[in-house]
Amino acid sequence: SGRLFVERSPSAESEGLRIISHQNAPILMAYTYEVVDILMAYIVESFDRETKVIDFHYPNELLQMNNWELQDEPATLDDILISCRATLKYAIKTAHPRYFNQLSTGLDMVGLAADWLTSTANTNMFTYEVAPVFVLLEYVTLKKMREIIGWPDGRGDGIFSPGGAISNMYAMLLARFKMFPEVKEKGMSSVPRLVAFTSEHSHFSIKKGAAALGIGTESVICIKVDESGKMIPADLERRILEAKQKGFVPFFVSATAGTTVYGAFDPLIAISDVCKKYNVWMHVDGAWGGSLLMSRRHRWKLDGVDRANSVTWNPHKMMSVPLQCSALLVREEGLMQNCNQMHACYLFQQDKHYDLSYDTGDKALQCGRHVDIFKLWLMWRAKGTIGFEAQIDKCLELSEYLYNKIKDREGYEMVFDGKPQHTNVCFWYLPPGIRYMEDKEERKKHLHKVAPVIKARMMEYGTTMVSYQPQGDKVNFFRMVISNPAATFEDIDFLIEEIERLGQDL
């Protein structure tokens, strides 16, 4: 096995190095097939419940376990294959049916193949000229998503962005531009003090976006939620009035459809009434819950979403599309273009020979933009809408099974009452030792330490992974989420057994 791409040439052309790149295609093809075999073996392993989800090592250990340093000299082909194997050996098996740690889990093989095709096509979304098919597929898919939201004839606008945080930031940017278009040229000093509203359980990206856009985190007003984590519309109205009385200008409400921790759906119809009354842009952050629109059984949870001005919807979460795939859908056509365009004449030449409306790059904040559409589009072809529906329904069934299993089980307490709206099931596990502690504060203090220890043990055994966190005055609890349709009832049973096995001595 020789050195790749750069070989020392006998004719000693410039500094003795010669690029061989594609000239030695057969060697490279063979090598690439070897990598594919490694990947396929990894996939088979990831799908196998007998393998570990994770082979955990502390950072300083992992740094020692392979030579990760970059060198001046090229490595051998063998070394490259070894590096691929080592990287996978210590990776998290996110496709493993017992990996529940994040909102994005699982591995869809059609999505994967589509992502491999995307890498191979290696192009940018900015113009039709360099991405004709992908630009059209984005157009077709965004239209379909808008139809599902319920906007007439699927009209409107949108873009695929690098994640829900950026999609939410786009929404805030558009809302500001809609109300004060002069802000684009003149900046925030030309406008009155703007305030945004979102629930206290909403995603941190709303505040992050406000900080970046020069609005400031103090201008994001957090609205109270009810016991199950839903925004209270009366509190929203109260806080809007309060802000107006102070002379501030309410410009943006972000309702959440599927909060990160509780999986709560804010009441969109009531919120839209408030937004309409005070003429405020209504955004729905459906990064996590938007996919429930694909399910005839669950889409009622987003009733009122068609009244929104913009919607974030991440197919890379509940629809198992490979990372990343996040869409921002916008009701008003043309606004994104006006808000973001800078007319770069080296890219968006106005004298091209085709319909320039397909050069969508100038409505983005990015210049180059990764092709995130093909994996979603191909999966949609493969499954049909009913296939996505079935896998979403299945994940929700699994979470209901979990909820029913633990809600009255000894040693468990639910963080909030009632059937989960999304696949989030939030609960405390109380080891026998603290189950009957009388001192409430003492009990709470102990309970706070339980989840982190169980989680650390899960990772060291490598058997499963689930997230935990505190929230408000609630000490650390487990947040179970299910987005991998490969999970089964038995996997849920296993999780519970594992929590009890690892936590009983605490």
Within residues 132-171, the interface with its own copies by CB under 8 A covers 132-137, 140-141, 144, 162-166, 169
Q: How many CB atoms lie within 10 A of CB 33?
A: 10
Per CB under 8 A, contacts with its own copies among 4-23 are: 4-6, 14-15, 17-19, 21-23
Q: CB 446 → its own copies: shortest distance, Å?
A: 13
Candidates 210-218, 225-233, 329-337, 401-409 — which segment interacts with its own copies by CB under 8 A?
210-218
Closest CA to 374 of 52, 134, 47: 134
Tell me the site size for its own copies, rule CB under 8 A. Answer: 180
Q: Which of positions 38-57 make contact with its own copies (CB under 8 A)?
A: 38-40, 42-44, 47, 56-57
Asked if 381 interacts with its own copies (CB under 8 A), we say: yes
The half-sphere exposure of 469 on its side-chain side, counting CA atoms within 13 A, is: 13
Q: What are phi and psi of 21, to 5 degrees?
A: 20, -115
> Scanning residues 239 to 278, which ones bind its own copies (CB under 8 A)?
260-261
500 is a contact residue toward its own copies (CB under 8 A) = no
| 130 contributes a contact to its own copies by CB under 8 A | yes
Cα–Cα–Cα angle for 92, 93, 95, rounded to 5 degrees:
140
212 scored as a contact of its own copies (CB under 8 A): yes
- 397 lies in the site for its own copies, by CB under 8 A: yes
* Amino acid letter, residue 1: S
Residue 227 in contact with residue 281, Cβ under 8 Å? no
Rg (CA), the chain: 25
Residue 254 or 324: which CB sits closer to its own copies?
Answer: 324
- Based on the shown chain and the rule CB under 8 A, indicate whether residue 2 belongs to the binding site for its own copies: no
Q: How many Å from the N-terminal Cα to the C-terminal Cα in the chain?
A: 53
Of residues 2, 152, 187, 432, which one binds its own copies by CB under 8 A?
Answer: 187
* Nearest residue (CB) to its own copies, 69 versus 408: 69
Residue 380 interacting with its own copies (CB under 8 A):
yes
Please, which of residues 421-450 interact with its own copies by CB under 8 A? 449
Q: Are 466 and 423 in contact (CB under 8 A)?
A: no
Which residues, in sequence order, are CB contacts of 213 under 8 Å at separation 6+?
Answer: 169, 172, 173, 176
The Cα-based distances of 308 to 151, 171, 379, 452 in angstroms read: 9, 11, 27, 39
Is 429 within 8 Å of 500 (Cβ atoms)?
A: yes
Single out the residue of 98, 100, 101, 310 in contact with its own copies (rule: CB under 8 A).
Answer: 101
Binding part of the chain for its own copies, among 149-157, 223-231, 344-352, 399-407 by CB under 8 A, reads 344-352
Distance in Å, CB of 430 to its own copies, minimum: 18
The position carrying tokens 């376990």 is: 65
Give 301-321 as a DSSP string. Answer: GGTTGGG-SEEEE-TTTTT-P
59 interacts with its own copies by CB under 8 A? yes
Q: How far is the CB of 8 from its own copies (least distance, A)?
A: 10
Q: How far is the CB of 236 from its own copies (least distance, A)?
A: 21
Strands (E), 241-336: 249-256, 281-286, 310-313, 326-330
